[in-house]
Structures are given as C-alpha cells and as structure tokens.
Chains A and B, each alone.
Chain A
Amino acid sequence: MKQSKRTTISLLVLSLIGLWLFVSAPAGTTEISISTDSDIFKLPSFGLGVGFVSGIAFAAQVLAVIASGYFVLGRNHKTPRWVVILFAVALVFEILVGLFAGKTMTFTSLLQGSLALAVPLIFGSLAGVLSERVGVVNIAIEGQLLAGAFVSALIASLSDNMFAGLIGAVIAGALVAWVLAVFAIKYVVDQIIVGVVLNVLVVGLTNFMFSTLMVSNLPFYNQPPRFDKILIPLLGQIPVLGPVLFNQTLIVYLMYVAVAVVYVALFKTRWGLRVRAVGEYPKAADTVGINVFRTRYVSVILGGALAGLGGSFFTLGQVGAFGKEMTNGAGYIALAALIFGRWNPLYAAFAALLFGFAENLQYGLAIIGSSVPSEFLLMLPYALTVVAVAGLVGKVTGPAASGKAYIKS
C-alpha cells in the first residue's frame, strides 16, 4: 500500500473512535476551569454540553479525513501535516470532554502536571536527537537520566548547593554518554548492546550506592535543597498558559533554552550540518575532511550532558531525594518521543509533551474517579510509538547511518 494512502486510512479508522464517542456521548455537561489564583484576569469557568462538543469535534475529524483524501487523490499525493494535527486535536479534545463528563476539568493543573512529567522526557529526547543525528543509537538515555538524578541528589546534599548538583548531573550524564561513545566508536561494539547494558549498569551502580552509602545517613547524603519556582513577570500572568509555562523552576527554563539551542545548532549552523552529514553518510563526510570520530564523540557527549541535566529534574526540580530506579522507564519513553518526533528537537519536544499529558491524565482521572483503567492511558505512548515506527501515520525514517559504526579505511 502506498504510504500516502496509509495516512488517510489510519485517520479514517481512528475517526471511528470519534464516531463511537459521539454516538455514546452522555447528556451532561463538562465544566472547564482555566484560571488559577495567580492570574490577573480571572476567566470564569464554563460548562460545555458533552454531546455538543463531541458533535463538533467529530465533524472536524470527518472534515480532516475528507481533506486528507482530497489531497492524496489530488495533485499533492500527500496529506499535509496540518490536517493530521487538526484531526489529532479534535479527537483528543473529544476524548477529554467525554472522560470528564459531568465533572470539572481543571485545565491549568492538567497542563502543569503534564509539563512536569514531560521535562525529563524532553531533555532525554534531545539527548537522543543529538546522538542519533550523528549516527550513534542512544538506548542509554535511561541510564543517563538515572545517573543525573543520583549524582545531582548526592552532590547537592553534600555541598548544600543546588547548582553544584546541577553541574554534577551534567557531568554524570556526559560520563555515561562517553562510555557509550567509547564502546560504540572506538571498540565498534553494537550500539544497541552497549546502550542496553549501560542502562543495567547504571541501575546496578545507583541501587548499590543508594543501599550502602545513602541509606547509612540519609539527611547527610540524600537531602538536597530544591530549586524554587520563579514567576516570570507579565509572561506568567497570561491566562491558562502563563502559570503553566512561566512559573517554573530553573531547570524548566533551561529546558526551553536547550530545545531552542539544539534546534538552531542542528539545522542552522555549520556544526549542525556536519553532525547531520556524519549521521547520514559518514564516508562522504570523511572525504570532505570532517573528523567523523570527533564529531561523533562531541555530539554524543553533549547529548548525555543534556540527559543528565534532565535527570536532575527528578530530584532537584521535584521530589528532592533520590529513590531507587526513580526514572522508571522515562528514558525509553524519551526514545519513543524522539522517534515519534522524527529525530527533530522541536517535534520530539511536542511528542514528549503529548506523552506527559497522557501519563498525567491518569492522575486527573483518578481524582474524579473515572472508570477508565489507568493502564491503558499509560500504554498510549508505547502504542503510539509502535504505530509511528510501523509507518501508519506517515513514514518515519531515522538518520541513515544511525546504529552503524564507522570504520575508517
């Protein structure tokens, strides 16, 4: 089947969910609250008829399917991205309103929770982007996050200084990435093997140190100070999004910067062009005088540093203390976000946000006592990733040389 038609057919199949939700929509209303106490302009919460919203959302989906079909059969032969996005937004909104039928949906806190869960995922996916764009598969994101979380908690506790912890996290993540790079580049070991094994190694080391060192004196070794939230004037007062985006800890602001910098560096600078050249066709890059090995080392280690920083969010940005295996598979979701975001830092960040949203939704639903099993919401990122790599929503191809060692001849 042609790639272009696959998208249309996938949308058509997904719109059946929309249809089913519309048909079975209960008669009640969903109360939507979009203000917090810190807002200057308080927006009143408002109720929406579930059936009414479902109808409009379903109509939007139908329009999107028709548009997709029109573009595929017409001259373009391809569904534009905005059609897919329109469809996704309509379906997600319909699902949300249906889930919260007869209850109050506090939009701001839903988004706040999503962002909090997404921060380490975004850092992790940036690490993956930097690594895979230069041709080294990074399965070790999980290990880099966990190392960052552990070292930041340890150093911040010992020095009683959050910034020292932050630097420690960066170094820890970079160190794990360095080991990955050495084995992948110098010893030409299969990159997936190294990644998987490094994750196990970091789990083993941090668990071991936690049980022997940290537990022996918790207040001394594992009670780091935490970053406070900084409210940015004006921006922080924007209704709905202001408190979500601009009343956050330093690490979150660093994340915004990191996404922008990685994007610009990869796509608008000479260095980025070299990185991508090495990731696509190292031999050609070598021929024109790019040092393939050095470029790979630098990019992989920079990525690891970012992942380490993301790991510090678990401790210094949120919980405070380190806990055994506290990253809990975030590195693998970051990997999923990176693939879902097609190896592009911006898309990967949005995918991570989406995954954070899906994960956070279970807490929102648990509070209102919804009957939807949380397991299925938690499955969403993984299932979406399988759908993405199976090419059902547009073809996903990574950098051509990703996963292949370069042997200079």
Chain B
Amino acid sequence: MKRVMKEFTGGNAMVSVLAVLASFIVGGILIAISSTEVQTTITYIGARPADFFNALWNSVFGAYDAMFRGAIFNYKAHDGVQMIKPITETLAYATPITMAGLGLAVAFRSGLFNIGGTGQIIFGAMFAGWVGIYVDLPFYIHFPLAVLAGIIGGGLFGALVGFLKAATGANEVIVTIMFNYIAVLLLSYLLKTPILQAPGSVNPVSPPVRDSAKYWFFMGDQFRIHGGLIAMLLAVIFTWWLLNRSTLGFRFRALGHNPNAAKVAGINIGLTYVLVMGISGALSGLAGTSQVLGTEKFLTLGVAASFGFDAITVALLGRSNPWGVLVAGLLFGGLRAGAVTMQANQNVPIDIVLVVQSLIVLFIAAPPLVRAIFRVKESKKAVAA
C-alpha cells in the first residue's frame, strides 16, 4: 500500500491531478483580481480585512460553484430536467472534443503532429451536411450514409496531408495549419453559394439537415445530447483496439517510436503516413458529423467552434491514450459547459476556460515544474523512466 501511494504521489497520475489543481488556482487568482468587489474592498483592507477576504471567497467560490452547477448538477434548480441538464451539456460538449481528440491521439502516437483538427472537422461537417441536407432516403440508409460521408470527408482531407508528407516530405504541422485556414475559407465560400447556402437566406447558413439523417436524441428535444455520445464511446473502443490490439496499430506505433527502424523492419512508411493521417482525419470528421447531424442541425461558419484546438489539448492531456482522451474530453467538456453558466451568473468571461485549459497542458507537459511548485519529490521509478 505504501508503495502504491508513493508511486501515485511521484508518478504521472499525481502530476496530472496537481497540474489541473494548479491551473484552477491560477484561474481563481484571475477571477479574484477581475472582481470589482475584491478591487474595492482591497482599498480599505487595513481597516476591514474581513470584507476583503469575504469578497475574495465570494468571487472565487461563486465562480467555481457556478461552474459546478453548469457542468455537473444544478442543485439550485426547481425541476428535475433543469437539475440534470448540466451533465448532459457537459456530455454534449465532450462528444466532438473527444472524437477529434482521439483522431489527434492516433497521429501523435504515430509520431505525426496533426494540428489540422479544425480543417478535418469542417470537411467532415461539409460532407455529412451535404448528404444530410440534399439526399432524400429512408432513415436507415440516410443516417449511416451521412455519417459515413463525414468520416470520408475528414479522412480524405487528413490523408491528403499524409500523402504530401509521404510524397514530398512536407512537414505535416505546417501543412495542417495551412489546411485549417483553407478549409475555413472554403466553407465560408460555399456557404455564400447555392451549393450549401439556404435558398433565400442572406446569412451564411445552410438549410437544416433532414430528420432522416439526424442522430437520435434519446433524451428528448430539451436536451442537447444525442446518439453522437454512443458513437464517441464506440470511437474510443475502436481507437483503443486499433492502437493496442491490431497489426496496423503496431505499425503506427513503430513509426512513432523510430521511423528508421520501422522502415528497416519492412513497414511501408509512405503508406503508413497516409493511413495514419486518414484515420486521424476520419475521427475528426466523425466529430464534424456529431455537430452538423446532431447538436447544431445545420451548417454554419462556426461549426468547428474551437474544437480543433480543444482536441489538441485533450489529446495531450490524455497522453494520447484513448481512455485518457475520454477522461480529458469529459473534463474539458465540463469546463466549457460550466463556463457558460459562470459567464451568465457571475460575469466571469468564458475565456477563462482557454486560460485554464492551456495552463493544464503546459503544466502536464513539464512535470518538473509541477513538482517544483508543489514540492513533490520524484519517485525512483519516474527517474528511471
């Protein structure tokens, strides 16, 4: 038992927990200094210190309490639906983030840096949206077809990056960053032309997706969660199987460990690049389907929101392990959902999420820093590793 404890306090799990804690503390400091109550009470802190500490506690606790009520369980609500709505909101945000995060995790494990989550989500959403809007088929064909189109759309856009890397050695980081912008601009163009724009509309918005192509809203229309959640869990299992149990995943990981050794071992490096980026893009494309065929129900310029970048942080936080990505996705989904309530109730701008999120990743990436902050000793095992 002692050994287990020691391993935990010195090991990676502890670092992750402490990193999250440290980020929340920094977030709390930001919330406190931006609160007008705190600002006014600090001017007479010498005369009435209690006022200051009260204001401090109210601002920070109030904000994080609002976050809890927005993300997990709203104990102040009057009816059951409102009470459990927060957790469903968390799941609704977590769905696309986790899916895209899985996609990036596949790439990271194979030693490829896919920053193109945004572009791949958009391509997935465009393909799925087009099929969902303009094809008229019975539900049992239409829905799978639309999802498949999204997966193929994201997959092709990703595979193109892999192909460029294989054929010309183009750096995938640069190419994916550029492809993100190209995808956004292409979507912006298509939403202005009859190809995707709703007839008669002056706004860059597509017509709604047909009912037969939509995800199943299994908790009714007052909640925003839908069958995408099930697709997300299937995607987690698939990615786990792919990376840890399949021959293909073995090749991916071999490539990630040492491309030269992989080549000597007879792995077709070029083809593997294409496959890695294709599957990575396909998972991001799936995230696009969850948005357009589920949560949003039509295509807008904001269809990818910030999910592409959230996915990077989720994949990093989850250490590119599918189950870790799931946990990280739920955490960041909760942060998003909670921040909406926090902004509405406590006037704390939603941007605090970006700060907390990026700090978490920075801290996790540098375990020595976290250990230095909390004065935790490094375990022997961690040193050996």
Residues of A within 8 A of B (CB): 139, 183, 187, 189-190, 192-194, 196-198, 200-201, 203-205, 207-209, 211-213, 216, 329, 332, 335-336, 339, 373, 375-376, 378-379, 382-383, 385-386, 389-392
**Are A201 and B359 in contact, with the CB atoms below 8 A?**
yes
Contacts of A383 in B (CB 8 A): 178, 182
Contacts of B362 in A (CB 8 A): 183, 189, 194, 197-198, 201
Q: Name B164-180 residues within 8 Å CB distance of A.
A: 164, 167-171, 173-175, 177-179
CB-contact partner of A211 in B170, B171, B349, B357, under 8 A: B349
CB-contact partner of B169 in A208, A335, A375, A391, under 8 A: A391
Q: With A183-B365, A213-B34, A329-B181 known to touch, is A375 a contact of B186 (CB < 8 Å)?
A: yes
Q: Name B116-170 residues within 8 Å CB distance of A.
A: 164, 167-170
Q: With A332-B181, A336-B178, A386-B178 known to touch, is A208 a contact of B355 (CB < 8 Å)?
A: yes
**Are A197 and B313 in contact, with the CB atoms below 8 A?**
yes
**Residue B316 is within 8 A (CB to CB) of chain A in the complex:** yes
Contacts of A386 in B (CB 8 A): 164, 170, 174-175, 178-179, 182
**Are B351 and A204 in contact, with the CB atoms below 8 A?**
yes
CB-contact partner of A197 in B167, B361, B368, under 8 A: B361
CB-contact partner of B351 in A194, A197, A207, under 8 A: A207
**Residue B192 is within 8 A (CB to CB) of chain A in the complex:** yes
Q: Is the interface of A mostly helix, strand, loop or mixed?
A: helix
9 closest residue pairs by CB, A with B: A204-B354, A207-B351, A212-B34, A187-B366, A201-B358, A211-B349, A204-B355, A375-B189, A382-B178
Contacts of A208 in B (CB 8 A): 30, 34, 349, 351-352, 355
Contacts of B313 in A (CB 8 A): 197, 200
**Are B351 and A193 in contact, with the CB atoms below 8 A?**
no
**Are B354 and A389 in contact, with the CB atoms below 8 A?**
no
**Are A390 and B164 in contact, with the CB atoms below 8 A?**
yes
CB-contact partner of B312 in A196, A198, A376, A379, under 8 A: A196
| Bound CA–CA A317/B36 (angstroms) | 32
Closest CB in chain B relative to A142 CB, distance in Å: 10
Closest CB in chain B relative to A331 CB, distance in Å: 10
| Bound CA–CA A173/B217 (angstroms) | 47
Closest CB in chain B relative to A187 CB, distance in Å: 4
Contacts of B189 in A (CB 8 A): 373, 375-376
| Bound CA–CA A190/B256 (angstroms) | 14
Contacts of B83 in A (CB 8 A): none
Q: Name B337-385 residues within 8 Å CB distance of A.
A: 349, 351-355, 357-359, 361-362, 365-366, 368-369
Q: With A193-B361, A208-B34 known to touch, is A201 a contact of B181 (CB < 8 Å)?
A: no
Closest B residue to A207 by beta carbon equals: B351
| Bound CA–CA A318/B352 (angstroms) | 28
Closest CB in chain B relative to A230 CB, distance in Å: 34
Contacts of A209 in B (CB 8 A): 34
**Are B185 and A187 in contact, with the CB atoms below 8 A?**
no
Q: List 24 A-B contacts (CB under 8 A).
A: A183-B366, A187-B368, A189-B366, A192-B113, A196-B115, A197-B313, A204-B353, A204-B355, A208-B351, A208-B352, A208-B355, A209-B34, A211-B349, A335-B177, A375-B185, A376-B189, A378-B185, A379-B186, A382-B178, A382-B182, A382-B185, A389-B170, A389-B171, A390-B167
17 further contact pairs, Cβ within 8 A, besides A187-B368, A187-B369, A204-B353: A192-B173, A194-B365, A196-B312, A197-B362, A201-B362, A204-B352, A204-B357, A332-B181, A336-B174, A378-B185, A382-B181, A385-B178, A386-B178, A386-B179, A386-B182, A389-B168, A391-B169
**Residue B9 is within 8 A (CB to CB) of chain A in the complex:** no
**Are B365 and A379 in contact, with the CB atoms below 8 A?**
no
Contacts of A187 in B (CB 8 A): 365-366, 368-369
**Residue B58 is within 8 A (CB to CB) of chain A in the complex:** no
Contacts of A193 in B (CB 8 A): 312, 316, 361, 365
| Bound CA–CA A383/B180 (angstroms) | 11
Contacts of A391 in B (CB 8 A): 168-170
Contacts of B369 in A (CB 8 A): 187
Contacts of B354 in A (CB 8 A): 200-201, 203-204, 207
**Are A335 and B174 in contact, with the CB atoms below 8 A?**
yes
Contacts of A211 in B (CB 8 A): 349, 351
Contacts of B216 in A (CB 8 A): none
Contacts of A207 in B (CB 8 A): 349, 351, 354
Contacts of B349 in A (CB 8 A): 207-208, 211-212
| Bound CA–CA A193/B317 (angstroms) | 11
| Bound CA–CA A205/B359 (angstroms) | 11
| Bound CA–CA A386/B349 (angstroms) | 36
**Residue B309 is within 8 A (CB to CB) of chain A in the complex:** yes
Contacts of A212 in B (CB 8 A): 34, 349
**Are B177 and A332 in contact, with the CB atoms below 8 A?**
yes
**Are B351 and A190 in contact, with the CB atoms below 8 A?**
no
| Bound CA–CA A389/B169 (angstroms) | 8
| Bound CA–CA A375/B195 (angstroms) | 15
**Are A203 and B351 in contact, with the CB atoms below 8 A?**
yes
Closest B residue to A402 by beta carbon equals: B171
Contacts of A201 in B (CB 8 A): 354-355, 358-359, 362
**Are A379 and B352 in contact, with the CB atoms below 8 A?**
no
Closest CB in chain B relative to A310 CB, distance in Å: 19
Q: With A207-B349, A382-B178 known to touch, is A390 a contact of B170 (CB < 8 Å)?
A: yes
Contacts of A329 in B (CB 8 A): 181
Q: B168, B170, B312, B351 — which one has the most chain A CB atoms within 10 A of its CB?
A: B351
Contacts of A392 in B (CB 8 A): 168
